[in-house]
Amino acid sequence: MTFLKTEGLLQEFEPPRGSKKPYYKIEFDLVMIIQGRDLTYEARWPKKKKDADSETSVEEQENLMDKFGPPKARGNGQISIAAAFEPGTN
């Protein structure tokens, strides 16, 4: 999600006590999909509005969706979860 930083869409926060580097905060949805014995995961941005305790206001989220459209997978990966099953499990 480097494009967020390069396009100036991230707000830089002050470093926490004991740290020298400022940091950025990105809120996104992490979606997990089980396909057979594989777990696929996607980072979808912008985050959907359903989280009431989010620090991003509903208005800010609506502005992001107006500008960038609905949430899209911006990163993904896959791992095998076969080891979590007993041998012979279908």
pLDDT digits (tens, 9 = 90+) for 22-79: 888 888 899 999 998 999 999 988 887 665 555 666 777 777 778 777 888 888 999 9
Q: CA 69, CA 71: separation in Å to the nearest integer?
A: 7
Cα→Cα distances 8→2, 24, 80, 85, 87, Å:
10, 11, 37, 45, 50
- Which helix H or strand E contains 34, and what residues bound it? strand 29-35
Taking alpha carbons only, the member of 63, 78, 73, 65 closest to residue 29 is: 73
pTM here is 0.61
